[in-house]
């Protein structure tokens, strides 16, 4: 079992949506000069005949953006734990060009890691069919996507096109979740520091993880309820009634309108979230019938140079191992 942290968390990442929804300090706007620098990087990659993700950060030279990138990375690890970056003029770019711009930015922020057993480094978030954990993950549908953290230090999304209706991006602070449980439901704290089996975190198979883990001065969190339930059931260890109660409480707190923060990602918006401190979700949506108008986002999983050090019993942040 992890060390049970026994104090309220007092960090910038312990925010409530009601307190910051009208505060634009978490929104960063690209300047025209910065967009020109990004486009210079795009032109350099294209001049070499390279495509995404088969290029390096040296192929995408944007050193002039070092201060902005340092701001992003600092805000993700030591600030609110998320940032929304606005202003990319998507009408100028093809989808492939947008992929190069986004992936190039990601290369300068951190190191992309695999998002699935196929080894995809740039994910596509779009509706491809009904949810089936064996073949189609929920983010590939139009269904509601429950709050969760991904298996990387940071997750990023770039919006190419939004849905006809719905598809709000929603985030909720895992630090505030801890504080709510600590202040009002202490009886579940020990349980949520215990190990649960979860799919994909042990070289692509199931492995143990706590929900909360305190190590070297920082509290980290993990929540992928569907993958925990799958792994526990496969092992013949379905969640007990009290464990279901605890997970139901987690979900209800994360969904509280006063705690979560909802945003509509417009085309060109980039969102980055720290997977140790922020859980993310998405509302269901109705899409356009035309393929070229359907909701589509690119996704990055990044390993960060300034990421916290985690305890040995808190695995699962290096992506999903590729399988041959």
The percentage of the chain sitting over the pLDDT mark of 90, rounded to a whole number, equals 78
pTM: 0.92
Q: What pLDDT is stored for residue 288 in this prediction? A: 74
pLDDT band at residue 8 under the 50/70/90 scheme: very high
Q: What is the pLDDT at residue 203?
A: 60
Contact assessment for residue 192 and residue 254, using Cβ atoms and an 8 Å cutoff: no
Place of tokens 């609110």: 80
pLDDT tens across 121-151, in order?
999 998 765 444 454 444 455 677 899 999 9
Paired with 299 in beta bridges are 123, 157
- What is the distance between the alpha carbons of residues 82 and 310, in angstroms, rounded to a whole number? 19
Joined together, the tokens standing for residue 85 give 């970056």
Dmax of the chain from CA atoms? 60
The pLDDT of residue 136? 42
Tens digits of per-residue pLDDT, 149-160? 999 999 999 999
**214 with 3: CB under 8 angstroms?**
yes
Cβ proximity of 4 and 186 under 8 Å: no
pLDDT of residue 286: 79
What is the predicted pLDDT for the residue at 291? 84
- Topology classification of domain 17-303: Double-stranded beta-helix (3.60.130)
Residues 239-242: contacts with CB under 8 Å, at least 24 apart? 242/191
Phi-psi bin for 61: left (phi > 0), alpha (psi -120 to 50), beta? beta
Residue 233 has pLDDT above 80, yes or no: yes
When the pLDDT of each residue in the chain is averaged and rounded to a whole number, the result is 92
Q: Which residues fall within 8 angstroms of residue 126, CB to CB, at 6 or more apart?
A: 140, 294, 295, 296, 297
pLDDT score of 259 more than 60: yes
Q: Is 186 helix (H, G, I), strand (E, B) or coil?
A: helix
Backbone angles phi, psi at 141, to 5 degrees: -125, 180
Q: What percent of the chain has pLDDT over 70?
A: 93
**pLDDT (tens digit per residue) in 271-283:** 999 999 999 999 8
Q: Does residue 5 have a pLDDT over 50?
A: yes
Cβ contacts of residue 49 below 8 Å, gap of 6+? Answer: none
More confidently predicted of 41 and 316: 41
Q: Residues 224-249: what's their mean pLDDT?
A: 96
Q: What are the sequence ranges of the domains in the chain?
A: 17-303
φ, ψ dihedrals at 86, nearest 5°: -115, 155
Structure tokens at 233: 């059931």
């Amino acid at each position: 079992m992890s060390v049970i942290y026994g104090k309220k968390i007092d960090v910038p990442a312990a925010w409530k949506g009601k307190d910051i929804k009208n505060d634009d300090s978490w929104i960063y706007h690209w300047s025209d000069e910065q967009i020109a620098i990004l486009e210079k990087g795009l032109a350099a990659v294209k001049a070499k005949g390279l495509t995404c993700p088969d290029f390096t950060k040296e192929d995408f030279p944007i050193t002039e953006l070092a201060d902005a990138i340092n701001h992003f990375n600092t805000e993700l690890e030591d600030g609110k734990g998320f940032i929304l970056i606005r202003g990319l003029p998507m009408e100028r770019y093809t989808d492939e060009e947008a992929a190069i711009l986004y992936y190039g930015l990601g290369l300068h922020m951190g190191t992309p890691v695999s998002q699935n057993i196929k080894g995809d480094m740039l994910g596509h978030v779009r509706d491809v069919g009904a949810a089936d954990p064996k073949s189609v993950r929920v983010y590939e549908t139009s269904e509601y996507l429950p709050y969760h953290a991904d298996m990387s230090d940071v997750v990023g999304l770039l919006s190419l096109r939004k849905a006809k209706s719905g598809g709000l991006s929603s985030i909720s602070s895992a630090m505030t979740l801890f504080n709510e449980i600590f202040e009002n439901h202490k009886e579940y704290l020990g349980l949520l520091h215990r190990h649960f089996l979860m799919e994909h975190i042990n070289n692509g198979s199931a492995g143990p993880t706590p929900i909360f883990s305190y190590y070297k001065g920082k509290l980290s969190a993990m929540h992928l309820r569907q993958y925990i339930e799958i792994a526990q059931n496969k092992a013949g260890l379905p969640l007990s009634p009290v464990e279901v109660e605890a997970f139901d409480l987690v979900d209800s707190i994360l969904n509280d309108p006063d705690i979560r923060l909802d945003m509509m990602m417009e085309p060109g918006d980039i969102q980055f979230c720290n997977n140790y401190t922020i859980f993310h979700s998405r509302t269901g949506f109705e899409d356009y019938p035309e393929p070229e108008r359907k909701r589509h986002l690119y996704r990055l999983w990044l390993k960060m140079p300034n990421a916290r050090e985690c305890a040995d019993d808190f695995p699962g942040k290096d992506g999903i191992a590729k399988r041959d």
